[in-house]
Each structure stands twice: as structure tokens, then as C-alpha cells.
A = this chain, B = another copy of it.
Amino acid sequence: MKTELEDVLEKVSRGKMPPRKAFLKLKDYPYQDLGFAKIDHHREVRKGFPEIIFGQGKTEGQIIKIAQEICKRGNSLLITRTGPEVYRKIRSKIPGCRYNTLAQTITLKKKRPAPGMGKIVIMTAGTSDIPVAEEAFVTCEMLGNKAERIYDVGVAGIHRLFGEMEKVRRARLIIAVAGMEGALPSVLAGLVGVPIIAVPTSVGYGASLQGISALLAMLNSCPGGVAVVNIDNGFGAAYLASLINHL
């Protein structure tokens, strides 16, 4: 596939595009500037998915404005890390959008995303890890993947995990969510041969160091095949999983 640069250069060379216009095109094309944010409406072309709004650290006004611009163009909407109060304000402006309380996401499906190849299995070690897993689940679905949940199968009762191995073995890849000692991804990597995306969570106390302990454990996984993302980053795990699942 030709790169954009090559394409523009060719047009310029054939006299179909004046150089100044080409320059401006290359410069201004891919985003819309709101001052406080530059929305990448062409991201879908370049990366395969529409722009996603990370809600944390943005004001309500900023989130709503960006969301409206995305929807205006007929793109699907996914807002992560956002509270119910934003939802209460946004739903009158963007009819049809939905809020997921556990995942803390606002979504609206417009375009049907390209379907992923296989099934992504999302597992948690404990009950308290579920919100992070749900963020991953919503993201997986929004990005066109089939996803299945298997929750509360950590090493504290490893036979629970074994009871779910049939489902686990049907996965094309696994998102394994765990706090505390973070052993679930390592145990899974010793059992199965598919890629495992490990998500440490801030679940725990004291020496869990807000998830640092689980993060370190996962980075040191003795069996191979484990990829790690940031603490509580359910979205990031799902985004990566979807990239792999669409290869």
C-alpha cells in the first residue's frame, strides 16, 4: 500500500496538486483543532478504530464537546473512565448512548467495526478485579471482537481455574486481570499456548503498593507469552488484544 507521503508527492509531480496545498494538506489533514484538544477523525483510517475519549482528567465540557464532534461525523463513541454525572449530561445531547456502571464507560455504536478473528477470553483473579475487566470487555466489543468473561479464578482456589479450562482453551488470546500477588497470568502462561495480556490491578493493600506488586510479578513471569500493560488499564489491554485479534 502506498504511503500518504508518496501519494501526495505523486499528485504534486503530475501537476494535480500545487505544492503549497500539498504542504497544508499534509499538515492540517488529519485532525480537528478544538484548542484544548486536537481530535483525530482519521485515526480510523490509520489505526483501524475511531478516536476514543479517555475521560479522566478532562472536564465535563471538554468530554461532551469532543464526543459531539466525533458523533457528528458518524463515528462510534467510546468514552472510558467517566462517571455517571457526565452520562447524565451527555445523554440528552447524544441520544442513544449508554452507560456501563461497572466499566465506567459511555458508548454508542454507529459504524460496525471489522470483526476480530477469534474469541478473547477475559479472566479475573478475584471479584474486586471485575471493574477493570468490564472496561476491557466493553472495549473489546466496541472494537468488533467476541469476548467471554471468566471471573474469580485466581490461585487462591486454583481448581476453579481448572474447572474453566475448556472455555480457556477456546480463546484466541487471553486478557488476565489480577491484583495482589498477580499470579494468574503466569499460571495461565504455564498452561496454554496463546498470548496473554496481563493487567495488574490496584486491588490489595499494604505491600500491594497500589498494584505495583502485581505489575512487577507479571513483568517477571517465568513462563513466556505474557504481555503487560499499565495498572488498571483494562482499556489498553482490550485495545491491544483487538489489534492482535484483527491481524
Residues of chain A touching chain B, judged by Cβ–Cβ distance below 8 Å, are 1, 3, 5-6, 9-10, 12-13, 15, 18-19, 22-23, 26-31, 35-38, 40, 43, 46-48, 52, 56-58, 62, 117-118, 125-128, 130, 151-160, 162-166, 169, 172-173, 180-183, 186-187, 189-191, 193-195, 197, 200, 202-233, 235-236, 239-240, 243-244, 247
User: Do the beta carbons of A37 and B127 come within 8 Å of each other?
Assistant: yes
Copies of this subunit: 8
Known A-B contacts A186-B183, A217-B183, A230-B219; the reply to A225 vs B240 at CB < 8 A is: yes
- Residue pair B206, A213 in contact (C-beta under 8 Å): no
A126 to B: closest C-beta gap in Å: 7
Query: Which residue from B43, B159, B180, B208 sits with its C-beta under 8 Å from A31?
Result: B159
Report B-chain residues with C-beta under 8 Å of the C-beta of A29: 163
A97 CA / B125 CA spacing, docked (Å): 28
Give CA–CA (A6, B23) in the complex, Å.
7
Asked if residues B181 and A151 are in contact (CB atoms below 8 Å), the reply is no
Contact yes or no, B31 A9, CB < 8 A: no
| 9 cross-chain CB contacts under 8 A | A9-B22, A13-B13, A30-B163, A36-B127, A38-B151, A40-B160, A155-B222, A224-B236, A224-B243
- Determine whether the beta carbon of A247 is less than 8 Å from that of B19: no
A193 and B47 form a contact (CB under 8 A):
yes
Contact A219 B224 (CB under 8 A): no
Residue of B nearest to A219 (CB): B207
- Asked if A151 meets B37 with Cβ closer than 8 Å, knowing A186-B183, A224-B235, A227-B197, the reply is yes
